[in-house]
Structure 1
Amino acid sequence: MKEQQKSKGISSAVIAAVSAAVVTVGGGVAWLTSNTNPTPEPPGREQLKNQKVSVYWLENAGTNLKLESQPIQVKSDGEPNKVLQTAFKQLLAGPTEGTGSTTIPQGTQLLGIKVESDAVRINLSEEFTSGGGSTSMTGRLGQVIYTATSLNSKAKVYIEVNGKPLEVLGGEGLVLNQPLTRESFNQNFEL
C-alpha cells in the first residue's frame, strides 16, 4: 500500500514539475516575442502601402457637365508626388470604366508634378491646349484642378505648359489667374 502511495506521489511531483517548466518556458517565449524588434527592411526597399487618391471625370448632367470622382488605390511609399503622378497618368490615359468622359486631348503628357505643403505644380505638354470649345476647355481645367487637389482639397494649383505658366487656355481664351483652387474654379467657370 505504501508503495502505491509512493508511486502516486512521485507521479504528482513529476507532473507538477513538468507543468511548471512548460509555464516558465511559455512565458519566456512570450516575453521574447513581445520584446524583439521586427526585422528591419533591407536598405533600398521601401515599405509600400495603399493610398487613396481620386481622378476626376466629366459626367453628363442633362444640360451641363459635372465633375465626378473615381477613387483609386495607389501603392506608395507615402510620397505625394508619386501618388499624384499615378493619378495624372490615369487621368491623361482616359477613362477605362463607368460612364465618365474627358475633354483632355489625347496625347497630353505629364511633364512634371511637384507637391508642396499647400500647392501642387503641374507641367503638361502642349497638347493640353489644343482643340475644343469653351465647355471642353472648362471641363479639362476642372479635371486637372480637382485631380491635383484630391490629396488636399484646399491646395493651390499652378499649371504650366512646356514649363511656362498657362495664362490663357485655348482659342476660346479662358483667362487663368493662377494659382487656381477648387473654390476659384467653381466661382469663375461654369460646366
Structure 2
Amino acid sequence: MASRTRRYVVAFCIALLAVAAAWRWAHPPEARVSVYFIRAQASSSTVQDVTRTVQGRGPEALLAAAVRELLAGPTPAERGEGLVSAIPAGTHLRGLRIADGVVMVDLSQEIESGGGSSSMLGRLWQIVYTATQFPHAPRVRFLIEGQTRAALGGEGVVIDHPLARPASPPVF
C-alpha cells in the first residue's frame, strides 16, 4: 500500500511541475526595450527612443517584440509629445533572427510604400536603432518579403549590406 501511495505522490509532483513549466512558458518574463520614433524639428528630424515593456525570452524574442512595438507606432501620449513614425501603416514583421552579430529583420513590402528620401531615411534609422539595442548584435540586415534588396524603395537608400548605428544620431 505504501508503494502505491508513493507512486501517486511522485506522479502528482511530476504533474505539478509540468503545469508550472507550461505556465511559465506561456507567460514569458517582461523586459524593457527601446523603440525609436522620429522627432521632427524646424528643418530636420532625428530619432528618439521611448521605453516599452514587452514579453519575451532571449534577445531574438525581445527584439522581435521591440520591432512589433515600433511598427505599431507611437502611443497617443507619445504623439502628443511630438513623436511620429515614418514607417507606413500596414508594415509587419515577417521574421527576425540574430546570426554572427547581425540582426536579420524581414519586413513586409509595405515598408517601401510612399514617402520621399527623408521618410525613407527615417524608416531606416528607426529600424536600425530599434534592432541594434543589444551590444552582441550591433548591425542589422534588411530583408523585404524574405529577399535582400540593394535599396529601400525608389529613393536609393542603400540597404545591400548590414548597417550599424553611426557614431552620433543621424539628422535627416
Q: Which residue of 2 aligns with 1:89?
A: 68
Q: How far apart, in 2, do the equivalents of 1:153 and 1:106 lie?
A: 30
Query: What secondary structure, in the 3-state scheme, does the structure 2 residue paired with 1:114 have?
Result: strand
Length-normalised TM-score, structure 2:
0.77
Among 147, 150, 171, the residue aligned to 2:133: 150
Q: CA 1:67–1:50 in 2, change beyond 3 Å: closer, same or farther?
A: same
Q: How far apart, in 2, do the equivalents of 1:153 and 1:136 lie?
A: 28
Structure 1 segments, 4+ long, off by >6 Å, are: none
1:184 Cα shift? 8.0
1:179 Cα shift? 0.7
Query: What secondary structure, in the 3-state scheme, does the structure 2 residue paired with 1:115 have?
Result: strand
1:62 Cα shift? 2.1
Matched, 1:128 2:111: yes
Matched, 1:58 2:41: no
Q: CA 1:172–1:184 in 2, change beyond 3 Å: closer, same or farther?
A: farther
Which deviations, in whole Å up to 9, do the C-alpha atoms of 1:5-25 show, x marking residues without a partner?
A: xxxxxxxxxxxxxxxxxxxxx
Length-normalised TM-score, structure 1:
0.70
The answer to whether the 8 A contact 1:59-1:100 is kept is yes
Q: How far apart, in 2, do the equivalents of 1:51 and 1:104 lie?
A: 24
1:44 Cα shift? 2.7
Q: How far apart, in 2, do the equivalents of 1:90 and 1:135 lie?
A: 22
In structure 2, runs of 5+ residues without a counterpart are: 1-15
The answer to whether the 8 A contact 1:138-1:190 is kept is no
Q: CA 1:171–1:67 in 2, change beyond 3 Å: closer, same or farther?
A: same
- Identical counterparts, % of pairs: 33
What root-mean-square deviation, in Å, do the aligned CA atoms of Structure 1 and Structure 2 show? Answer: 2.3
